[in-house]
C-alpha cells in the first residue's frame, strides 16, 4: 500500500481539505491572490484528493466540465514522491471515464516537463496567469498518461 491515497471527493464535503492544500501552495507559497484562486468553479468540478497515511490532505487536482485539468497542488513536504503524477493520472482516467476528448491545462512553465512526461503537448506562447508564466498544454483524446 502506498504511503498515500488518491480518492475522488465531493466539493461540499471536502472543500476545507482541498482549499487547505491549494491555499498553502498557490496563495502562501506562490503568492497568488486568494480572489484569483477561488474562481467560483469548484462546485461544478470533479475533485481528487491525496491524503497521507494518517489521512491528512497533501495534494489535490480538479477537473472541469470543459475538460480543463487544474489546481494540481502538492504540499511542499509531500513532493518528489509521485503524488502529483498519481493525481494527474487519476484526473485523466476520470476524464476518459466521463467521455471527455482532448484535455487541456495551463501549466506553470517550470512544470512543463512534468506534464510533457505524461504526454501533454505545449501549444502556443507563454502567457501570464495570476502573475506566473504559464503555457497551454493538451492531451489528445487518444493518449493516456505514459
C-alpha cell at 99: 467521455
CA distance 49 to 104: 20
- How many Å is the maximal CA-CA distance in the chain? 42
- Domain coverage including residue 44: 4-139
Flag whether 52 is in a domain.
yes
CA distance 96 to 94: 5
Nearest-CA neighbor of 88 among 9, 33, 6, 2? 6
- This prediction has a pTM of 0.94
Rounded CA Rg of the chain: 14
Flag whether 31 is in a domain.
yes
Q: What is the pLDDT of residues 37-82, one digit of tens each?
A: 999 999 999 999 999 999 999 999 999 999 999 999 999 999 999 9
Q: With 90 as the cut, is the pLDDT of residue 2 above it?
A: no
CA distance 72 to 54: 21
Nearest-CA neighbor of 89 among 54, 14, 41, 139? 139
CA distance 13 to 53: 20
- Return the pLDDT at 62: 98
Flag whether 144 is in a domain.
no
Domain count, the chain: 1
Q: What is the pLDDT of residues 80-125, one digit of tens each?
A: 999 999 999 999 999 999 999 999 999 999 999 999 999 999 999 9
The CATH number of the domain holding residue 60 is: 3.40.630.30
- Return the pLDDT at 145: 65
Amino acid at each position: 500500500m502506498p504511503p498515500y491515497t488518491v480518492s475522488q471527493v465531493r466539493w461540499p464535503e471536502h472543500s476545507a481539505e482541498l482549499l487547505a492544500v491549494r491555499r498553502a501552495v498557490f496563495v502562501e507559497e506562490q503568492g497568488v491572490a486568494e480572489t484569483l484562486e477561488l474562481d467560483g468553479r469548484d462546485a461544478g468540478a470533479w475533485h481528487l484528493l491525496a491524503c497521507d497515511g494518517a489521512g491528512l490532505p497533501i495534494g489535490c487536482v480538479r477537473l472541469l466540465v470543459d475538460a480543463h485539468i487544474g489546481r494540481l497542488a502538492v504540499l511542499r513536504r509531500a513532493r518528489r514522491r509521485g503524488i502529483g503524477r498519481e493525481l494527474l493520472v487519476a484526473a485523466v482516467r476520470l476524464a476518459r471515464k466521463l467521455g471527455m476528448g482532448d484535455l487541456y491545462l495551463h501549466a506553470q512553465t517550470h512544470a512543463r516537463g512534468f506534464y510533457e512526461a505524461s504526454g501533454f503537448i505545449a501549444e502556443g506562447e507563454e502567457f501570464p496567469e495570476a502573475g506566473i508564466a504559464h503555457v497551454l498544454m493538451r492531451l489528445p483524446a487518444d493518449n493516456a498518461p505514459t
